[in-house]
Structure 1
Amino acid sequence: MANLAEKRPDGSKGISLNQCIHPGYNKNFKISDALTMMRFDKFVLGFDISKAFHRLAIDDENSSKFLFYWFKDVESRDFTPVVYRSKRVIFGMSVSPYLLQCSLYNMLILETDGDAEEIQELKKRIYQGSYVDNFMIGCADEDEVEMVHREASTIFEQHKFPLQQYVTNYSQFQYEIDCKVGTETPQEVKILGMCWDRYNDVLKAKCVKLNVEADTPRQILSSVMSIFDLNNANLPVLNRCKIFLRQLQSDYVDKWDTTLHGAQLNEWRNIASQFNNGERLEIPRYMGSRKSTFDIIVMSDANSTIALSWLADYENLRTKLQREVYM
């Protein structure tokens, strides 16, 4: 990784290398879209590309723009300064995600001549289930999990993109993969900003804590905003915090370092303690088959304090007569 955002080290005026490069367009799918795609079908196979950015070559003309100093031979203790140049895309370069997504689009969407119809469809599903270099593919049954593993490996290996870190809720196949690579995949894995319990097939919010000892509006705000929750999985239980913060903002305008006392301090400590000691929110990963028909119903409500909205999906309602509500 290179810090291409750094300007001149002496503090003089200048621009960084990243400022000289057009970052390209954002061709990544939204992480929420990728998370939704992995919730279809009873089984999921996830994987990522090993050293994805370093698999992309830079031509000679452009590689001369990425020069850096290093030692001639560290192992033999020859520390003579030598100028090297990067011939691979660098992690930390602003254009790196764009170049990777262009490569994936070319490999999975454009290069389909001669592919069987099943492989073309699989390539589309892999592309739609991607987020940067991570992939989550829904599978209808155990046989499809093994097929996706086999065909995806072939597709990516043809372009010198080796795959790694396979995860699936097909336990027997996960065990076989782990035995081949000499690892043991834990029951709970981090994926797309969430935690996935493979055994129980549920998605959980990351385990986060609030600062019970915070006693000023600034410290409380810092504690609440420090929770990085990309998918808003903790939003239902964080609403109390936001309502409390709104009251503080009204009571302590321009007095964010005032120490709280009495009822307000006790209220914050109750909120933080209950949040920290509460059970982690979890939702079922499986929403239904990707081939099923879904009717999406949106509901909302509001009062003087808060407005709420939620989605309910009905899968094959006429035959199953079953409803599940998803956050």
Structure 2
Amino acid sequence: MKVLVKGAGVAGLTAAFELAARGATVTVAEIRYGLGGNASWFAGGMLAPWCERESAEQLVLDLGRDAADWWDTVTPGQATRAGTLVVAAPRDAGELDRFASRTSGHRRVDEDEIALLEPDLAGRFRRGLLFPDEAHLDPRQAMAALHDKLAAMGVEFRFGADAQHISGFDRQIDCTGMAAEDCGLRGVRGEMLILRMPDISLSRPVRLLHPRLPLYVVPRTDHRFMVGATMIESQSTGPVTARSMMELLGAAYALHPAFSEAGIIETGAGVRPAFSDNLPRVEARGTTVAINGLYRHGFLLAPAMARQAADLAFNQDETKEVA
């Protein structure tokens, strides 16, 4: 079976792998001239299904609990399994209790254990939650590794290509996100910063709970940190706003004052496709299967949705929807 995958974001790349691994001849068409520039490029890369359950449906946990295993198997060495640490200032202790009541898979940690887990946070927080089974990755490195894996498997990439003008395939997998022709989609803008601060080291993502602007800080290599993210109902692809910049920097400072001296390496904004229920969908219509609505859970949910899309592509007898 010859399959055309439209889009080289995380949904398209994971779908291409699942199809190629089952024996399909796969071509990936991407209108951009290389990896990057899409919502996946600006993602946090947290494989945190238990934390996400705080504001997401049970389905997100069910679909995402095996994501770290998938990334470990397909792109060995990309996922770091160090868990997630959730903390709050003493005045926001109620936020920590609320978060704990809405999630599972965690244990409470005190000030001493926080200092053992993250020495640079010693003395800054009295209580926290550790989600030991969660993981994280660098989205850009993971996408590059997956691209190389696919190329080695014989997957053809056509960058700078408009998939509308490509024909001759038995199936198409539409992974174009906000560019898809789906009136049920809405855009959710997420803004992020990448800071570099040699005086701070973190071993795992740290989430700082705040009633107004919850923050996460995800460690990268070379003392770089991804700080995110806003959640704005907007399809604007413009630069990070001054207000968001100040809020994100202020929250990073609240996590550790040394971030006030960090270098701002990059700012960015991605528009994440979402349906009204914030849940992803895999839909089959004719010879096309669409993956969309990954919302803020791209790297977490893409492997499960890619498997569902591959199932439909190989057993496509009637129009159906899988959630």
Q: TM-score, normalised by structure 2?
A: 0.21
Structure with greater proportional strand content: 2
Structure 1 or 2, whichever has the larger Rg, is: 1
Higher relative contact order (CA 8 A, sep 6+): 2
User: What TM-score do the two structures reach when normalised by structure 1?
Assistant: 0.21
